[in-house]
Structures are given as structure tokens and as C-alpha cells.
């Protein structure tokens, strides 16, 4: 089982959602972002961190530092379920390749149909294939 599957299985087994994880090869840092419908507390991060530490010891995962945190208000959107869950909210995203000459889009998430994200921009509606989305984040409103 790879590192990604190991982390996901551990996090979901504890009742949380794995939003994302990053590795930094030089500093040998593992950064894990978790979420849940009720939000994330320091205690949640500590319990996931403790469990991952135990799992990594058993599975001989080699790392120097582990950080577990919430994804923040400008949460990244990775999976189709993320785009569906946050429908009606504003997001910024970048595509791998230009779509009609542009790669950066901002708009209201309007659902996913047949693997295509519908995004309502200020002046136009966009249909962006999910596999073409490179990065996407919620826009923070104050």
C-alpha cells in the first residue's frame, strides 16, 4: 500500500476527510490536511497525528516531521465530491491547458455533470472538464 492510500485509510478510519497531503522531499516533511462536517479542532489534529505516527512506525514510513491541520477557509478542491459539496460557493481555479484562451477562472460552483464542472462567472458560464482542473480553492468572503 502506498503512502497516499495509507494516509487516506487512516484519516477516514478515524472519521475525518482527507482533503490533501503534501510531502517535501528535502525537509522530509509530511503535511496532512483534514476536515469534517463539524470543522476541525486542535484535538482532532492531535488524534490524527498520533494515529498516523503509530501507523507509520508499523509500516516503516520514513519521514522527519509530520504536520496535521485543517485546510483553512480557502480550502483546496480536489475531488468531484468537493466541487459538488461546495456548490453555490465562489471558487478560483486554474486549468492545465487554456480553455478559450484562458487558464484562470473565478465563479460560483454550479455543480458537476458527466465529469464537467459548471462554473458561473461574472460575465459568462464555463464548462470545465474536471481532469483539466490543475488547482482550485474556495474564495474567502469576509
- Does the pLDDT of residue 27 top 80, yes or no? no
pLDDT tens profile 33-58:
999 988 899 999 999 999 999 999 99
C-alpha closest to that of 18 among 30, 4, 28: 4
- Classify domain 80-138 at the CATH topology level: SH3 type barrels. (2.30.30)
- Classify domain 3-69 at the CATH topology level: GMP Synthetase; Chain A, domain 3 (3.30.300)
What mean pLDDT is predicted for residues 88-100? 94
pTM of the model: 0.78
C-alpha closest to that of 75 among 90, 97, 95: 90
Domain ranges of the chain: 3-69, 80-138
Amino acid at each position: 500500500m502506498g503512502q497516499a492510500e495509507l494516509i487516506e485509510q487512516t484519516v477516514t478510519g478515524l472519521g475525518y476527510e482527507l482533503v490533501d497531503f503534501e510531502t517535501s522531499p528535502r525537509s522530509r516533511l509530511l503535511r496532512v490536511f483534514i476536515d469534517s462536517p463539524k470543522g476541525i479542532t486542535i484535538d482532532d489534529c492531535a488524534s490524527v497525528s498520533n494515529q498516523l505516527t503509530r501507523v507509520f512506525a508499523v509500516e516503516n514510513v520514513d519521514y522527519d516531521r509530520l504536520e496535521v491541520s485543517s485546510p483553512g477557509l480557502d480550502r483546496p478542491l480536489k475531488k468531484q465530491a468537493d466541487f459538488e459539496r461546495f456548490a453555490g460557493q465562489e471558487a478560483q481555479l486554474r486549468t492545465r491547458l487554456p480553455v478559450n484562451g484562458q487558464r484562470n477562472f473565478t465563479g460560483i460552483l454550479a455543480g458537476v455533470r458527466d465529469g464537467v464542472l459548471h462554473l458561473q462567472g461574472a460575465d459568462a458560464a464555463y464548462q470545465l472538464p474536471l481532469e483539466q482542473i490543475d488547482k482550485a480553492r474556495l474564495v474567502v468572503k469576509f
